[in-house]
Amino acid sequence: MALDKSFEPHAVESRWYARWESAGWFAERADASGSAYSIQLPPPNVTGTLHMGHAFQQTLMDSLIRYHRMRGDNTNWVAGTDHAGIATQIVVERQLQEQGKTRHDLGREAFVKRVWEWKQESGATITRQMRRLGASCNWGYADTEGQNAGYFTMDERMSRAVVEVFVSLFEQKLIYRGKRLVNWDPVLGTAVSDLEVDSEETVGTMWQILYPFPDGPQPSTDKDGNPVSLRGMTIATTRPETMLADGAVAVHPDDDRYRHLIGKRVELPLCDRTIPIVADTMVERDFGTGCVKITGAHDFNDYGAALRHNLPLIVIFTLDAKINENGPKQFQGMDRYVARKAVLAQLERGQFLVKAEAHKMVVPKSGRTGVVVEPMLTDQWFVKMDGWAKSGLDAVASGKVKFFPEHWSSTYNHWLENIQDWCISRQLWWGHQIPAWYDEQGNIYVGRSESEVIEKYKIKSKLTRDPDVLDTWFSSQLVPFSSLGWPDKTKDLETFLPSSVLVTGFDIIFFWVARMIMASLHFTGKVPFHHVYINAIVRDAEGQKMSKSKGNTLDPIDLIDGIDVDALLKKSTTGLLKADHKAKIEKYIKSHFPDGIPSFGADALRFTFASLANFSRTLNFDLGRCEGYRNFCNKLWNATRFVLMNTEGQDCGADQSKPVELSIWDKWIISTLQRTEAEVEKGFAEYRFDNVAAAIYRFVWDEYCDWYVEIAKEQLAKGNEAQQRGTRRTLVRVLETALRLAHPVIPFITEELWQDVAPLAGKKGETIMHAPYPKSQPEKIDEAAEKEIAEVKRHLLAARNLKSEMKLPTNRKTPIIFSRTLSTSMMTANTALVSTSISISSEDEISRLNTPVGISGDLRFTFKVEMDVAAERERLKKEIARLEGEIPKAHAKLGNASFIDRAPAKVVEQERARLAGFESTLAKLREQLQKLAGKND
RNA sequence: GGGUGGUUAGCUCAGCGGUAGAGCACUGCCUUCACACGGCAGGGGCCAUAGGUUCGAUCCCUAUACCACCCA
């Protein structure tokens, strides 16, 4: 088959993916031969579309899976999607909003039904996009929904595990229900966990408010100990509206200004009551006035203090953050920020407001809605974390779970060492409803179903199910074992748990990684995975975070398919939350992508990701790199084209009885291939995908294409039959191996090319996917050949360099004269790359010629052309100057007695050889310059 | 405030005790029969700063500065 002149990815990609998938080649092996190698895909949200972070981590996972599959392992890349409670509920609520409805108009049952419909329709988008990337997920595995998208965290099978876990944790008293202060999102109307709250630094106001003494001014001292008279206690707060719920004011027990006042009461302005002054060491004496209010029900720090001092917890907010009936009548029904203004105005009027100053502070915002989170005293379900945390810490400390890069384990440890109980209930409709029921007296019953509860507890009265659902992460944490069939004791649990490696972002180490480790240990006694590879965060080329409002996001599909600038503009500016971003985005796109994005193809995108996957925390995605690797794919394509042109239908040495002669160059490329294979293996073992990519790139381009293919042309043209056979065999076999070597990273192009190349190399097989992965064979490493070729390359580089310096066309071959006879390998290379004809002459004769002389080691050479004397003088002077700089450095080093004594003999010897080389070359160069001295230009 | 990572060529990053590297960008020459998504050659760096260890430091140690992120 004749290949196109350049690589056009599209046809190749769609054809091969469909073939791989329909052939069932992604599946695990039923016969379970080979050791198990499995990866759990971090299940993307059903609401999601593929972004650069996904594409990056999925490229790495797919490379690992393909690598291990080719090595003969029983691979299972378990995939699925996550029901993503809040995110999904928001998506469907927005759709309702467009129709002017809310979820309450539908009612819970109809709403949930609607979400399911949406999921069936749109939920597989991301899995379709993953296919474009070439991800060889085991789609049919655990595919209960029949969409070839793996499991769904709310499908029947996964839900069963969730209920089982909840019930058993409850029975083990590791889940409890209680009234606690939690982070409350007043817009969503639900509790959220600590992890879902982001702290944002803003400049707010610190107000000082006077709480007067009921019995008149009291004596005190100021900071410097001077006597003063106090009208009351002046507290400092950033949230004046919460004073309506104050239970006390607090001072530090050792604060001389206030110590004598502890135990007295003060009047709470605007409210018809007094509150006590208490002593608590949590108060910072130097901060503000050294006196704070205690609002137990609306502040996390105060909550602890209120419990310590037995203060009443007064709730003054409704669940949508309005003042409730516990607040003074005049403020009731006001939103918290409206109330703040009203309270301040009232305080001002009553002359209670002492001071207001700008104050840098941190505001907690809901990660989902961005609204300021309100600490709210509500009934919630919690998981006890202390015991789990210990087991999680042990798993990493003992090395059962290893982080790559290793330093992430400190982040993990730090969180687990300071963990709080996990609030798992959410006041939403979309999610796993908590399997708990209440009787009419409010007693709680937990069970697998209502009927189980009725039977077990012999309930007579009417039961009501807890309306809350579970935090999405509660089900996600079970994925490593629930996806394998738990709670049944399945064979897959034995085979694929623990999985081999988890590839994920650092942002979910707490949300997910840690919890999976703890939950797996608890329920299966096994860690969920052996390795955790924390991938870098993908940024734009300038290191900026990718965000839709900046317009610097890239869609992986656009990189694969290409997109023109108009379509890109349109796409980036539709559906914006803020219209004023539009101009900024347009500007960014017009300056960064004036011509849109060219189509690079999936392989080039994947190779780019791999080559950028070092151990640093961020990955700056550079289109230039992507273009470079597209070029690499084209190079590989054309090298194959060349090989096919020269081998198809010809004797490639398949017939063992015919003689085959391998040259030093043949042996060298085979040897170099072994080294590359070893490098690639090391790279995969260390998760250094950048090294894997670099090794492949260098081998294919720098060694095979730049040297071997050029030499092969010469060998094919001039060699005898056995030599030609040897060359063809080497060309084909090395290429075939290189294709297999590169397949895990660039699957499409390698499959396409392998189909043509493999038969010539005597390989059979339907797909490269199942061809064995190349393994370095040390016996094929030929150090003598490597050494010889390294020297030949040095000589040739010198010759080419001289040619270029002489301004001879570097591409045109020029007759050359060498000072001594040459090795065959040198002759071949020189004819292939530099010269039309080669003659051998003595050094003296060369020197007598009126031409620039090149020196490489002990070899001198010159081109048979007219010389430009002035240019040659310049060239020699420049080279002499370089050596004159190097020589004193080497002398100094060798003149240092300690260096000679202490440095390893090898290093000293090397340094001596270097110096000797410099000196002899310098002498020759000077001699040349000398000869030119008398000559006119 | 606590922690983690970073600072190497114009850009993005490797390297890591013993002659500073890659890709992209740049300069010159070249449409040659695999590839102009190409070939050949070249220019470009006091490896953040200051100390220390060492025969020798970009690399190890200690400070400092700056950048980024995480936690409170």
pLDDT, tens digit, 9 for 90 and up, residues A352-403: 777 878 777 778 888 778 888 888 888 899 999 988 999 999 999 999 999 9
CA dist A89 → A86, A287, A454 (Å):
5, 43, 31
DSSP character for A283? S
Choosing from A425, A445, A467, the residue where a domain stops is A467
Q: How far apart are CA A487 and CA A248, in angstroms?
A: 51
Q: Please give the structure tokens belonging to residue A716.
A: 């094919």
Give the per-residue pLDDT at A732.
95
Choosing from A444, A467, A490, the residue where a domain stops is A467
**Residue A842 shares a structural domain with residue A903:** no
Give the containing element (helix H, strand E) for A391.
helix A386-397
The answer to whether the beta carbon of residue A710 comes closer than 7 angstroms to any atom of strand B is: yes
Q: What is the mean pLDDT of residues A625-645?
A: 93
| Chain A residues 2 to 21 with C-beta below 7 Å from nucleic strand B | 5-8
Q: Is A708 exposed, middle or buried (0-12, 13-18, 19+ CB in 10 A)?
A: buried
CATH of the domain at A730: 1.10.730.10
Q: What is the mean pLDDT of residues A193-203?
A: 78
β-strands A816-818, A838-840: how paired? Answer: parallel
The answer to whether the beta carbon of residue A800 comes closer than 7 angstroms to any atom of strand B is: yes
DSSP character for A707? I
Give the per-residue pLDDT at A809.
75
Q: How far apart are CA A415 and CA A408, in angstroms?
A: 11
How long is the CA A616 to C1' B54 vector, in angstroms? 30
Give the per-residue pLDDT at A68.
96
Decide if pLDDT at A32 tops 70. Answer: no
- Classify residue A166: in a domain, yes or no: no
Please indicate whether residue A26 or residue A32 has the higher confidence score (pLDDT).
A26
- Classify residue A725: in a domain, yes or no: yes
**Residue A827 shares a structural domain with residue A911:** no
The answer to whether the beta carbon of residue A717 comes closer than 7 angstroms to any atom of strand B is: no
3-state secondary structure of A504: strand
Classify the phi-psi angles of A408: left when phi > 0, otherwise alpha if psi is within -120 to 50, otherwise beta.
alpha
Q: How far apart are CA A597 and CA A568, in angstroms?
A: 8
- Classify residue A95: in a domain, yes or no: no
Q: Where are the beta strands (DSSP E) in A90-239?
A: 151-152, 175-185, 190-192, 197-212, 218-221, 227-230, 232-237
The answer to whether the beta carbon of residue A801 comes closer than 7 angstroms to any atom of strand B is: yes
Q: How far apart are CA A868 and CA A45, in angstroms?
A: 70
The answer to whether the beta carbon of residue A617 comes closer than 7 angstroms to any atom of strand B is: yes
The answer to whether the beta carbon of residue A350 comes closer than 7 angstroms to any atom of strand B is: no
Decide if pLDDT at A417 tops 60. Answer: yes
Q: What is the pTM of this model?
A: 0.89
- Nucleotides of chain B in contact with protein CB (under 7 A) are 3-6, 11-15, 18-19, 22-25, 28-30, 32, 34-42, 54-56, 68-72
Decide if pLDDT at A601 tops 70. Answer: yes
How long is the CA A883 to C1' B54 vector, in angstroms? 28
State the CB neighbour count (10 A cutoff) for residue A901.
8
Q: Where are the alpha helices (DSSP H) in A71-155?
A: 85-98, 103-106, 108-122, 125-133
Looking at residue A295, its amino acid is T
The answer to whether the beta carbon of residue A704 comes closer than 7 angstroms to any atom of strand B is: no
Domain of residue A742: give its range. Answer: 609-781
Decide if pLDDT at A873 tops 80. Answer: no
Least confident of A20-24, A148-152, A858-862: A858-862
> What's the mean per-residue pLDDT of chain A?
87
The answer to whether the beta carbon of residue A183 comes closer than 7 angstroms to any atom of strand B is: no
Helix %, strand %, coil % of chain A (to 5): 50, 20, 35
Please indicate whether residue A490 or residue A584 has the higher confidence score (pLDDT).
A490
β-strands A353-366, A265-268: how paired? Answer: unpaired
How long is the CA A839 to C1' B41 vector, in angstroms? 24
How confident is residue A182, by pLDDT bands cut at 50, 70 and 90? Answer: confident
| Chain A residues 805 to 834 with C-beta below 7 Å from nucleic strand B | 805, 807, 809-812
Choosing from A867, A887, A920, the residue where a domain stops is A867
**Residue A752 shares a structural domain with residue A891:** no
- Output the CA torsion sign for A25, A27, A30, A33: positive
Give the per-residue pLDDT at A167.
94
**Residue A200 shares a structural domain with residue A283:** yes
**Residue A308 shares a structural domain with residue A450:** no
CA dist A214 → A120, A346, A500 (Å):
66, 19, 69
**Residue A336 shares a structural domain with residue A459:** no
**Residue A204 shares a structural domain with residue A309:** yes
State the CB neighbour count (10 A cutoff) for residue A489.
8
Q: How far apart are CA A178 and CA A423, in angstroms?
A: 10
> Which residues lie below 8 Å from residue A462, measured CB to CB, with a gap of 6+?
A439, A440
- Classify residue A497: in a domain, yes or no: no
Give the per-residue pLDDT at A708.
95
Please indicate whether residue A618 or residue A713 has the higher confidence score (pLDDT).
A713
Strand order through the sheet with A197-212? A232-237, A197-212, A353-366
- Classify residue A753: in a domain, yes or no: yes
How confident is residue A529, by pLDDT bands cut at 50, 70 and 90? Answer: very high
How long is the CA A571 to C1' B68 vector, in angstroms? 30
**Residue A656 shares a structural domain with residue A678:** yes
Decide if pLDDT at A936 tops 70. Answer: no
Give the per-residue pLDDT at A500.
95
Q: What is the Cα A846 distance to its own chain's centre? A: 60
Decide if pLDDT at A664 tops 90. Answer: yes
**Residue A723 shares a structural domain with residue A790:** no
Report the candidate in A715, A713, A759 with the shortest Cα–Cα distance to residue A736: A759
Q: What is the mean pLDDT of residues A161-168?
A: 94
**Residue A654 shares a structural domain with residue A700:** yes
How confident is residue A932, by pLDDT bands cut at 50, 70 and 90? Answer: confident
- Considering its fold, how many domains does chain A have in total? 5
Report the candidate in A175, A191, A195 with the shortest Cα–Cα distance to residue A183: A191
Q: How far apart are CA A278 and CA A249, in angstroms?
A: 6
How confident is residue A173, by pLDDT bands cut at 50, 70 and 90? Answer: very high
CATH of the domain at A885: 1.10.287
Percent of chain A beyond pLDDT 70? 98
pLDDT tens figures, A43-101: 988 887 888 989 999 999 999 999 999 999 999 999 999 998 888 888 888 888 888 88
CA angle A283, A289, A293 (to 5 degrees): 55
**Residue A862 shares a structural domain with residue A902:** no
Give the per-residue pLDDT at A937.
47
Q: How far apart are CA A381 and CA A316, in angstroms?
A: 22
Looking at residue A56, its amino acid is F
Q: Is the peptide bond before A9 cis (omega within 30 degrees of 0)?
A: no
Report the candidate in A519, A558, A373, A475 with the shortest Cα–Cα distance to residue A88: A475
Quick check: ipTM above 0.90?
yes
Q: What is the mean pLDDT of residues A230-251?
A: 83
- Which nucleotide is nearest, taking the CA of residue A704 and each C1'? B34
Q: What is the mean pLDDT of residues A443-461?
A: 88
Give the per-residue pLDDT at A801.
87
Give the per-residue pLDDT at A400.
93
The answer to whether the beta carbon of residue A411 comes closer than 7 angstroms to any atom of strand B is: yes
How confident is residue A528, by pLDDT bands cut at 50, 70 and 90? Answer: very high
3-state secondary structure of A175: strand
- Classify residue A584: in a domain, yes or no: no
b/e per residue, A821-849, with b = 16+ CB within 10 A? ebeebbbbbbbbbbbeebeebeeeebbee
Token pair 């910072």 is found at A284
Q: How far apart are CA A294 and CA A362, in angstroms?
A: 19
Decide if pLDDT at A454 tops 70. Answer: yes
pLDDT tens figures, A751-806: 999 999 999 999 999 999 999 999 999 999 999 999 999 989 989 988 888 888 88
CATH of the domain at A261: 3.90.740.10
- Which nucleotide is nearest, taking the CA of residue A633 and each C1'? B37
Phi, psi of A512 (to 5 degrees): -125, -55
The answer to whether the beta carbon of residue A628 comes closer than 7 angstroms to any atom of strand B is: yes
- Classify residue A442: in a domain, yes or no: yes
Token pair 């350049």 is found at A6
How confident is residue A262, by pLDDT bands cut at 50, 70 and 90? Answer: confident
Q: How far apart are CA A495 and CA A843, in angstroms?
A: 71
**Residue A327 shares a structural domain with residue A304:** yes
How confident is residue A596, by pLDDT bands cut at 50, 70 and 90? Answer: confident
- Output the CA torsion sign for A243, A248, A251, A252: negative
- Classify residue A885: in a domain, yes or no: yes
The answer to whether the beta carbon of residue A619 comes closer than 7 angstroms to any atom of strand B is: yes
CA dist A287 → A235, A247, A284, A298, A377 (Å):
10, 20, 5, 21, 27
B15 C1' closest Cα residue:
A691
Q: What is the mean pLDDT of residues A455-484?
A: 91
